[in-house]
Structure 1
Amino acid sequence: MEFCITQSWNGGSINHAPVKVKIAPNSTSDLKLSVYAPYFGDPPAPDGPSGLPFPQLWDYEVVELFLLNDDDRYIEVELCPHGQHLVLLLNGIRNIVKDELSIQYKASIEGSRWSGESLLPLEYLPPNVNRMNAFAIHGSENNRVYEALHPANTSFPDPDFHRLEFFQPINMSFIPGYNPSTVTQTWKNILEK
């Protein structure tokens, strides 16, 4: 399943080649998330090792994928061209219950393009994922650019990637190891607290 981010966060046009996000089965225990994107190099790279989680990665150049269920339980995956990543689990809008989860992730920059590939454990997915959105961010200060696969509308004054009402349907049946009715141990631990 491949998606192209072709609009700004509120539905405006963008002036560069679109960011592409691909979700594919990898095994019965994880899925492959791939990113192909223009490289802007702004802001500078985060000051953290490649391949490891980095807090507040959304302040840098990133591509994000959100997978959501009807109970507002969701996973947010952020991938950076410099190799850092951030995986958050949320139980309710903006309610982070686990962060800096580990994944396998590698990225490379070639001229004006970058690509990244990660393996995301199915254990991290909430049950009954049925909606999604993807975002891209780059630039600094007044030149900060926010883009969305499924944008909000112009009635919102500021970008907010947690406007879950704009997420669109996704059918996860193409992932052979994902059983929508199963609550994984990761999510059982969260919901029992």
Structure 2
Amino acid sequence: MNFIIDHTWDSLPVNHEPVNIRFSPGDGGLLMEVSAPFFNEPPGPPGAPGQPFPGLWDYEVVESFFLNSNTENYLEVEVCPHGQHLVLLLSGRGNAFQQGLPLSFQASINGGRWTGHALLPWTYFPPGVNKMNSYAIHGSGEGRKYEALYPIPRDEIVEGQKPNFHLLEYFRDFHLQWIMGDEWVQPDSDLWPATH
């Protein structure tokens, strides 16, 4: 399944080649492939490629969120053209109870574009995923750009509103079975105890 991020968070068209995210079956998880323009702004984070980096959202990044809208449990995956990543498990809007989980992720920069491949283990997904959204961020200061697969409609934006990627009501229908097949059953995970 292919998804193209061609609008800003507030529903304006992007002014560059859009970010493309592809999901497909992987070995023990969901394969997430990113193909995106490389802005190199801001410069890469000072962490080792292939490792989690706290606060990665302050850099050039592509993010995908996978939500169970009934429990508000969701997985957030952030990947960066320089090779760092950040995985968060959240229970309730913006409430991360685990972050910095390991991730098999490789990125490469080729001129003005970058590609990334991440394998998201099934155990990271909350049971009953039924919604998703994806985002892309780049730029610095006043020039920082926030883009969304499913943005907030123009007529719902209030004066002074800022980008917020945890507005779960704007996520849209998504089921892992769409990729894995109708008969596929999501494996159990001990990362999502009943208390969450």
Question: Which range, TM-score by smaller chain?
Answer: over 0.9
Determine the structure 2 residue equivalent to 1:147.
Answer: 147
**Residue 31 of structure 1, CA deviation:** 1.3
Map of 1:102-117 to 2, 5 A cutoff?
102-117=102-117
How far did 1:186 drift?
1.1
Other-structure match for 1:131: 131
Q: Which residue of 1 aligns with 2:170?
A: 166
How far 1:179 moved relative to its partner? 2.6
CA offsets, 1:123-152, max 9 Å, x none? 010000010000000000000000000001
The question of 1:7 aligning with 2:21 is answered no
- The letter for the 1-side match of 2:77 is V
TM-score, with length taken from structure 1: 0.94
**Secondary structure, in 3 states, of the residue corresponding to 2:192?**
helix
State how far apart, in whole Å, the 2-side matches of 1:192 and 1:76 are: 19
Residue identity in the other structure for 2:189:
T
The code of the aligned residue for 2:20 comes to: K
Q: Measure the CA separation in 1 of the matches of 2:57 and 2:118.
A: 17
CA apart distance, 1:112: 0.3
> Letter of the aligned partner of 1:130 in structure 2?
N
Mind listing any 5+ residue stretches in structure 1 that lack a counterpart?
none
Further displaced range: 148-157 or 75-84: 148-157
Query: What CA distance in whole angstroms lies between the structure 1 residues aligned with 2:89 and 2:23?
Result: 18
Are the equivalent residues in 2 in contact too, given 1:122–1:178 (CA < 8 A)? no
Matching residue's letter, 2:49:
S
The percentage of counterpart residues that share the same residue type is: 46
Distance across 2 between alignment mates of 1:40 and 1:179:
39
Q: Distance in 2 between matches of 1:149 and 1:81?
A: 19
CA 109–145 in structure 1, closer or farther in 2 if over 3 Å, else same: same
Look up the SS of the partner of 2:65 in the other structure: strand
Using the TM superposition, give the Cα deviation of residue 192 of structure 1 relative to its aligned residue in structure 2, in angstroms. 3.9
Partner of 1:40: 39
Note the aligned Cα RMSD (angstroms): 1.5
What is the TM-score of this pair, normalised by structure 2? 0.92
Matched residue SS, 2:127: coil
Question: Are positions 1:186 and 2:186 aligned together?
Answer: no
What runs of 5+ residues in structure 2 fail to find an aligned partner?
none
How many pairs are equivalent? 189
Query: What SS does structure 2 have at the residue aligned with 1:133?
Result: strand
Distance 1:179 1:92 in 2: 24
Amino acid in structure 1 at the alignment position of 2:170: F
Q: Please give the alpha-carbon distance, in whole angstroms, between the structure 2 residues aligned to 1:178 and 1:18.
A: 31
Distance in 2, Cα, partners of 1:54 & 1:153? 32
Structure 1 counterpart SS, 2:123: helix
Residue 13 (structure 1) shift: 1.2
